Structure 1
Amino acid sequence: MCFFNKFIYHLFLSLSLTLCSLKTYSQYSYKELLELDKKISITETYADSILSAFEKKDALFAKNAHGFSYFFYRERQNFDLGIKYGLVEKSVLENVGLKNSDYSNILYNIGKYNFLKKEYNIALDFYKKSINSDASKFKSAQSYCQVGYIYFLQGDYHKSLNYYLKGLPLIEKHGTIKSLLAHSINFALVCNKLNSKKSIARGLYYLNNIDSIIKTNSNTSFNKSHLYNLQNGFGNLYTSNHFLNSKKANFHYNKGLNLAKKLNDHYLTSIIYSNLGELYLKMDNDSSLYYFSKSLSFNLDGESIANETHKNISLFYLKKNVLEKSLNHIEKSLNLCFLTKRNSDIRILTSRELLNTKDKRVAVSSLALKSTILFKLYLKTNNLSFLKKLIKNTSLLNDFITLLINYNTTEIDTKYLWREEVYDSFNLSTLSAYLLNDKELMFRFMEVSKTFLLLQEISKKRQLLNLPFQLTKRDNDLRRTILSYEERLDNSENFDLRDSIFSLKTIYQNFKDSIQKIYPEYTSPDQKIEPITLETLKKSLDKNDVIISFSMSNMEIGETKSNLIGLAITKNKTIPLKAPDSEKTIESLSTYRKLLSTPLKTKEELNEFKLTASFLYNQLFPTSEIKNLIQQKNVLIVPDVTLENTPLEALISEKDSFRYLIQDCNISYAYSLTFSELNKDLIRKTSNDISFYSPIKFGNTTISSLPFTEKESNNIEGIISGDFLEFNNASKRNFINYSPNSKIIHLATHANASGNPQIQFYDSILPLHELYTYKNNADLVVLSACETNLGEIKKGEGVLSLARGFFHSGANSVVSSLWKINDASTSEIMTNFYKNLKDNQPKTLALNNAKRSYLKNHSLSEKSPYYWASFILIGDTNPVFEDYYFELFLLSMAILVILLVVFKFYNKKWVTNF
């Protein structure tokens, strides 16, 4: 541009600014800015000059700032300037006290612009401020859904679900059809990722709802890309295993494909081809590869659809046993997920880089799939390097999941979802370590596959103990209320109750955020819970201790489809073991548990039990070395999911003589050895030996009475002194008030494991969720009730039982039951158990001796394991009542020596003086 032209340009700009300044006290609408932009090309400098010409920063000033904010976002795609002028508008509206619909709108817009910049945490903050301003119902509704979408991107799927369930009804009431369409489609994505029967049904409900609205508003024009997403959403949900309908899925995908082609949108077309490929893959139709190839032909490697397409191609080749190609495509998927270059080492990524992964569910499933491929390659080549690569891959997967749980997930159901995703990979790595004969690695993976979330919760509780009492009480009260409401919601779709839960969770999250700012050292999300090492464990063992930890991998090796392996650990030995016939073992475990749950009355039942229990004994303790190792020892069993709720003491060690394993050794159980170590270190102070609760009869007369529990109570009261509460004194309130101060808590009553586990007191029930906010200091909890160790099984965590609930609330060990027990035999066993405890026997010996005594004193069908094997000891095995006689003797001797020294000193001094 020549000097003259530049002069003319600047002169024109100066005149324009002068003329515009005359319009200072009017509002620049968006349309006016568009027209003005055609003449002078609006810049940041121009916008600043216009705003600086205002004599006062009032509502009109705010409207002009709003105009520039929206202009720079919409016309320039300059999100930073959109945010800059949005913040100006926000500040002015706050100063003049105008927190109206304009205020809600600009908060939403600032959130939106930050979202587009992928500054998700900042966006969350502004969306939530827009919700809290509550000046625009529509903006609040949109903000709820946008928050839900961010949580979806971060992998907190259940939290995302909750925000959408709050926002969508408001969109339907206060918003537009187009907005409802867009957010319903995104909600369906969340439901698809959750992939449960309930979530898929919810997704279909909202898609059908919006589809019906669209059909009744035929005169309204809709964005074709939204209509495409609707069809794609239907296809995805009908491809789910829970509602798999290939005909409907194919119909909707093809409708979406036609729309994508009309739009000439390669990205949307690529997605549909990929989804069609996944549908055909589920149908084992080779056409899937054609559709996957069509999807990749658009060269959209920067988009997340390419990640999933490569993963599905990998799965296709895995099914065909073309393993090299399968590995190649899973590597491509992972490189795209983690934004790394081909063949680069993902393990060097920082935590932030891992958390910024595009599609976390695809990344996790791709890592898990890679482990499977590597194991298959080992089987094909017998090359041990593939097993080593598998173990490194699973270590990365474990780190990634731990980050997601610690930083991106607050809902417990999402945490369970992530733990379930990695469970099979952990077991596969345990099997790989077994094949590598690496005992330390075997042990490590068996430990990380168990009860991580329980460990995390107890670790958090220990952190919170450092906070002021009023804060820990507030935390506990909020959690208790939320859990109570959630239990009620499980049985209904009460929208008012859902709203209450949502509000409570919002309050609780704000409370936790404020605590974290004030006390970051006690509330850090970065909880590094390292599993105990094999070396450390072995140092802590006594010469009579044997630990056997099990792991089941569902990986086919030759003709074997499953592999039950384990480690037998003593102070001086570590012996790997493998069940000779794992598949038959799994079948026999089911038969075994069924036979245990009723008395063995017929010869046929007795023979079937003998054969089954003997077979299992030889499978679980497969070598003579291990059989000899456990003789007359204290054997601690660490089961995996396959062996949950299985009392091994009723196995038959000598088939011909019908000898039970309990007659050869003492058996107890542990969730994990890492948990046991952490749990026993908790400080437990009590002043009462026992709190015993026995309603005998119940306020609700429809509940059957338990007459033998009165005898049980009286017998134990003659052994140990403490609080024995019967009939109406055995109330829930008394339990809450008195039990925290007791060394032993004993509940002799009804319990129920179906649905939501609960314990029956005289007046009301104690559901499992209340144990999560109740605190006890018990060295031992005895649940002398039915099915107290049963509950929902979560892969990677174990059984969500009443027993686990008491550990969560502070117990050091728990005696619980595995089936509906006989109250007469229970009374006898429990009486002897307490006699043994009072004699300072370790808990495991006390319980096992009580069972042996029962076997000795009964015959015929009364010796059936049904009567005595239901109760198992989980956790610490040390004596409840320590024998202090030896310590007192040592103390007395020390005092005597001191007195003799003193006497000799003074005697010598007296003689000298004399």
Structure 2
Amino acid sequence: MNRFLFLFLSFLIIHQKSFSQSKLNQEKEIDSIYKLNIENTLKTQILEEFITKRENLTKENISYAYHKQGILYSFENNYEKAISVTQKSISIRIDTDSIDYYKLNNSFYNLNYYYKVQGNEKKQKEIIIKLQSQPVKNKFTYKSYIDLGFIFTNKGDYFNALINFNKVIENYTSYKDPRTLLKAHEAVIATYSYIDETKRYLEEINYHINSIDNILKNHNYLSTDIGYKNNLANIYENLNKPFKVIELYKQVLKVYEEKNDFGNVGRVYSNIGRVYNKLKKRKKANYFFDKALEIKTDKKAIAAVNSNMGDYLTPEIKIRYNKKAIGILLDRGYDETVLSLKEITNSDYTLDILDYLIENVEASIKNYESTLKNDDLNKAIEISILVDKLISFIRLESIVDTSKLFWIRKAASFYMKAVTLSYYKNDVSQAFYFMEKNKALLLLEGLNNTKGSNKKESLIISLEESIRQHIGKEKNLVEYILNEKRGFGIFCNENEKIFYKLENVPELINQVDSLKNKMSKYFIYKDDKEKYKRLANNVFLKLFPFKNSIKKIKNKGLIVIPDYKLQRINFEALIPDALTGEYLLEHTEINYLLSASVFEKLNRNTKKSIDKILAFAPVDFNQKTLQSLKRSKKAMQEVASICETELFIEEKATKETFIKELKNYSIIHLNTHAGLNKIDNDPWIAFRDKKINLKELLSLSNNAELVVLDACNGASGKQEIGEGIMSLSRGFFRGGAKSVITTQWKANEKSTNEILKVFYKELSAGKTKLKALNIAKKNYLKTHQLSETSPYFWASLILIGNPDSIKIIPSTNYSNWVWILLFITLGVIFLFLKRNKLYLK
């Protein structure tokens, strides 16, 4: 269009008088300019003229004109100008007497989009936060949750992303825009496609797939984005449905080719090649790999091709291909000596590079097992250290615990690989570090989560420091790392460090499962005990396979840091010698740690609390499905007769009282019911009126030197790989407790009460927590026989954490009885001596 026509149109629009007094018609004028069939640059100029020269233009319409101008600038990829005029639009609209929040939120949303295209994530998040803080919410507010979710997805904070997407889905009635709803469900599927745990979340995935199908059925003018099928293909690949995957990829490929979207074409070629590679159809795989390599526009696709081509070839070739892939993503050659955490995290391909590095560690193990070349082993250890730092960086950047747990699970598989490399290198200190990183990391992070330190990696204690703290003439330590395929142990005493491999791990796992089952049931027939002895002895020999193991353990304390299924059995009930049939309890005193690093952190805490017991015994419960615990009242009264106790019994044993008093006492004793929520396996413990669950407990601080969970299944909970059992014990440790005595299965009320009564007597006499519990259990075994000596009755109770003595005030009544008995004893002795003296005369 020539300049004359442009000026003529400007004159007509700016100087017409017929609609000048109408705000609505001013808006129509702006829309008419926006819709003109002329170049966008000319439309922006006309709008500028309109804003500066139009008479009686309202603030609302000046804002609206700038808003439209921003859209036109974005069409021309001039995002700086788009941002500038949209900011003006927002500022003016906020200053109006009656704010139109639909238009304001629209402008905020557009501004978020412009920053997104520019790659300015920081500014994008700032705008999203401002948009979401507006008092009126509409579809633009909820669309921004989708954008925010994808920011988290790109950082690996997948479950924070899902939280944002689900806000859009759950609040559909607030905005009623089916297109936005569809995008939210698609976003969920996209995020699950990155989480390589499809089977774990299959129910949720199917819900969203069905929801998408229903939206399309009810709104036939809508269609899914092509990326949706691509993401579905990734999910089906995790479900090992290769032909369904190939079908979906070919549908996606056709659309991308029609759009000349060469970057995505290359990625899909590479993905199809990878699937054919898994099917061992090398010719077809190479055809698609070659097609992908012909496209030079997308380095992520080229990197993926190189990595995929190395799959199912020799480990040495796989390593070479992955090195090349990393070099492509970083725009340089690959060299382990200069590859840095900063360079990787500053790139746009952090998650891709992490995957390639982990694959290289795995390939290095296979390569060493076939070649025994130490040079390759040393390089693999260096890569492992870098991977550890990289996973920690991503985990610490994640906000929600479910995302952190995902990265902890992902790390757990890697840490086993790193320990395997350390085993081949015979580097016990490095192995100990990786074992520690594989346990209770989220708990340790929570304990360190003071103001300003939530993104700082927690201190992992070294093997040398752990030996210094825990091991001496009277103490040994053993730590394990275990999964379904591999396992290792490190046993340390004052003279040696033994690093050993657990043999035939699948069989060991089955035996541990069977042993847990037998421990949690009492013996009925003589043959039951014999079967138990054989099994408990087999497990002992597998867990302590080194020479003279029982001789090294006997008559010394043993700290056990278990992993995976080993966290569900009591080592005290193992049998070192099948001939004698004696329990390990009779040879050593055992306490458990969640990790040496967690113990070290908790032990630093200084406690300010009353040296008394805070005890709760509801006896009966408002929730009628919970059985009455008739013995609990007497049991707690007996404890109160031994030690100074603040006792809350029956209707006084409420949840509110527990929360109020929790911080004030050094010992907390709960004699009640515990269990697991059927929906999410979240543990709970019951008070007279209500239950408290683990999620609530994690937010409560305490000053306890000892917590006694005198309740069934106190140590039960969901097993999180790489983190441990999410039990009630964990909640008290998170609150600051130094030690917890808890139950590993449905405890027998009578035997537990007997053991704890003796425990408190020994504790008040100055014994350590560990010695007191050991004496109490041995006393139980001595005073019972036959079936009552089954581990079911005595082995459920375990001590986790600090084993040391604790200051405790004896009960006044108990002290009086002690003095009375002492005087009686002295009197008897005096009379006996006096009588003997007379006799001698």
TM-score, normalised relative to structure 1:
0.80
1:797 aligns with 2:793: no
1:787 aligns with 2:716: no
Give the aligned partner of residue 888 of structure 1. Answer: none
Q: Which amino acid aligns with 2:317?
A: K
Give the aligned partner of residue 414 of structure 1. Answer: 403
Q: 1:86: how far off?
A: 1.0
Structure 1 pair 206/635, CA: closer, same or farther in 2 (3 Å)? closer
Q: 1:291: how far off?
A: 6.4
Q: Which amino acid aligns with 1:534?
A: L
1:551 aligns with 2:547: no
- CA displacement, residues 797-849 of structure 1 (integer Å, 9 cap, x when unaligned): 11000111111122110011111111111111111111111111111111111
Q: Which amino acid aligns with 1:831?
A: K
Q: 1:59: how far off?
A: 2.7
Could you say what secondary structure the match of 2:615 adopts? strand
- CA displacement, residues 705-745 of structure 1 (integer Å, 9 cap, x when unaligned): 23333342232222111112222222222222233211111
| Structure 1 CA distance for aligned equivalents of residues 180 and 756 of structure 2 | 64
Task: Tell me if structure 1 keeps the 8 A contact 2:614–2:647.
Answer: yes
Q: 1:246: how far off?
A: 4.7
| Structure 1 CA distance for aligned equivalents of residues 373 and 529 of structure 2 | 48
1:749 aligns with 2:666: no
Could you say what secondary structure the match of 2:708 adopts? strand
Q: 1:459: how far off?
A: 1.2
Could you say what secondary structure the match of 1:644 adopts? helix
Task: Tell me if structure 2 keeps the 8 A contact 1:568–1:574.
Answer: yes
Aligned counterparts, 1:220-231, within 5 A? 220=221, 228-231=226-229
Give the aligned partner of residue 822 of structure 1. Answer: 748
| Structure 2 CA distance for aligned equivalents of residues 229 and 290 of structure 1 | 24
Structure 1 pair 581/115, CA: closer, same or farther in 2 (3 Å)? same
- Among 259, 273, 277, the alignment partner of 2:255 is 259
- CA displacement, residues 72-114 of structure 1 (integer Å, 9 cap, x when unaligned): 1112x02111111111111111223453222111111110000
1:622 aligns with 2:548: no
Structure 1 pair 700/552, CA: closer, same or farther in 2 (3 Å)? closer
- Among 264, 269, 275, the alignment partner of 1:273 is 269
| Structure 2 CA distance for aligned equivalents of residues 259 and 649 of structure 1 | 64
Give the aligned partner of residue 760 of structure 2. Answer: 834
Aligned counterparts, 1:306-325, within 5 A? 306-314=302-310, 316-317=311-312, 320=313, 322-325=314-317
Give the aligned partner of residue 377 of structure 2. Answer: 387
Structure 1 pair 47/137, CA: closer, same or farther in 2 (3 Å)? closer
Q: Which amino acid aligns with 2:458?
A: I
Could you say what secondary structure the match of 2:605 adopts? coil
- CA displacement, residues 661-693 of structure 1 (integer Å, 9 cap, x when unaligned): 111111110011111010011121112410122
Which piece of structure 1 moves more, 839-848 or 394-403?
A: 394-403
Give the aligned partner of residue 415 of structure 2. Answer: 426
Structure 1 pair 99/191, CA: closer, same or farther in 2 (3 Å)? farther
Task: Tell me if structure 2 keeps the 8 A contact 1:431–1:553.
Answer: no
Could you say what secondary structure the match of 2:458 adopts? coil
Structure 1 pair 861/165, CA: closer, same or farther in 2 (3 Å)? same
Give the aligned partner of residue 762 of structure 1. Answer: 688
Give the aligned partner of residue 332 of structure 2. Answer: 341
Give the aligned partner of residue 112 of structure 1. Answer: 113
- CA displacement, residues 350-406 of structure 1 (integer Å, 9 cap, x when unaligned): 54851654363x444333222111111111110122222222222222212222222
Structure 1 pair 301/443, CA: closer, same or farther in 2 (3 Å)? farther
Give the aligned partner of residue 857 of structure 1. Answer: 783
Q: 1:573: how far off?
A: 3.3
1:452 aligns with 2:453: no
In angstroms, what is the RMSD of aligned CA positions? 3.4
Aligned counterparts, 1:252-651, within 5 A? 252-280=248-276, 286=282, 289-290=285-286, 292-293=288-289, 296-300=292-296, 302=298, 304-314=300-310, 316-317=311-312, 320=313, 322-336=314-328, 339-345=330-336, 348-349=339-340, 351=342, 354=345, 356-358=347-349, 360=351, 362-407=352-397, 409-460=398-449, 463=450, 522-541=451-470, 542-552=472-482, 562-651=485-574
Structure 1 pair 210/872, CA: closer, same or farther in 2 (3 Å)? closer
Task: Tell me if structure 2 keeps the 8 A contact 1:635–1:666.
Answer: yes
| Structure 1 CA distance for aligned equivalents of residues 307 and 697 of structure 2 | 42
Task: Tell me if structure 1 keeps the 8 A contact 2:439–2:724.
Answer: yes
Structure 1 pair 78/168, CA: closer, same or farther in 2 (3 Å)? farther
Structure 1 pair 579/167, CA: closer, same or farther in 2 (3 Å)? closer
Task: Tell me if structure 2 keeps the 8 A contact 1:138–1:170.
Answer: no
| Structure 1 CA distance for aligned equivalents of residues 483 and 192 of structure 2 | 29
Could you say what secondary structure the match of 1:793 adopts? strand
Q: Which amino acid aligns with 2:646?
A: D
Structure 1 pair 331/82, CA: closer, same or farther in 2 (3 Å)? same
- CA displacement, residues 772-813 of structure 1 (integer Å, 9 cap, x when unaligned): 112211100111111111111111111000111111122110
| Structure 1 CA distance for aligned equivalents of residues 156 and 368 of structure 2 | 32
Which piece of structure 1 moves more, 245-254 or 747-756?
A: 245-254
Q: 1:180: how far off?
A: 5.0
Could you say what secondary structure the match of 1:744 adopts? strand
| Structure 2 CA distance for aligned equivalents of residues 130 and 175 of structure 1 | 18
Give the aligned partner of residue 824 of structure 2. Answer: none
Could you say what secondary structure the match of 1:83 adopts? helix
| Structure 2 CA distance for aligned equivalents of residues 857 and 39 of structure 1 | 94
Q: 1:133: how far off?
A: 2.8
| Structure 2 CA distance for aligned equivalents of residues 18 and 580 of structure 1 | 89
| Structure 2 CA distance for aligned equivalents of residues 769 and 181 of structure 1 | 32
Task: Tell me if structure 2 keeps the 8 A contact 1:351–1:403.
Answer: no
Structure 1 pair 170/771, CA: closer, same or farther in 2 (3 Å)? closer
Aligned counterparts, 1:636-715, within 5 A? 636-715=559-638
| Structure 2 CA distance for aligned equivalents of residues 743 and 135 of structure 1 | 50
Q: 1:205: how far off?
A: 4.1
Aligned counterparts, 1:226-241, within 5 A? 228-241=226-239
| Structure 1 CA distance for aligned equivalents of residues 206 and 137 of structure 2 | 29
Task: Tell me if structure 2 keeps the 8 A contact 1:758–1:766.
Answer: yes
Q: 1:188: how far off?
A: 1.6
Could you say what secondary structure the match of 2:799 adopts? strand
| Structure 2 CA distance for aligned equivalents of residues 717 and 569 of structure 1 | 40
Could you say what secondary structure the match of 1:766 adopts? strand
| Structure 2 CA distance for aligned equivalents of residues 145 and 153 of structure 1 | 12
Could you say what secondary structure the match of 1:665 adopts? coil
Structure 1 pair 307/179, CA: closer, same or farther in 2 (3 Å)? farther
Give the aligned partner of residue 99 of structure 1. Answer: 99
> Structure 2: which 5+ residue stretches go unaligned?
21-25, 811-841
| Structure 2 CA distance for aligned equivalents of residues 525 and 183 of structure 1 | 30
Task: Report how many residues are paired.
Answer: 794
| Structure 2 CA distance for aligned equivalents of residues 40 and 612 of structure 1 | 82
| Structure 2 CA distance for aligned equivalents of residues 703 and 618 of structure 1 | 41
Q: 1:60: how far off?
A: 3.1
Structure 1 pair 236/31, CA: closer, same or farther in 2 (3 Å)? farther
Q: 1:66: how far off?
A: 2.1
Q: Which amino acid aligns with 2:319?
A: L
> Structure 1: which 5+ residue stretches go unaligned?
1-8, 464-521, 555-561, 885-914
Q: Which amino acid aligns with 1:228?
A: I
Q: 1:612: how far off?
A: 1.4
Q: 1:568: how far off?
A: 1.9
Task: Tell me if structure 1 keeps the 8 A contact 2:341–2:389.
Answer: no
TM-score, normalised relative to structure 2:
0.86
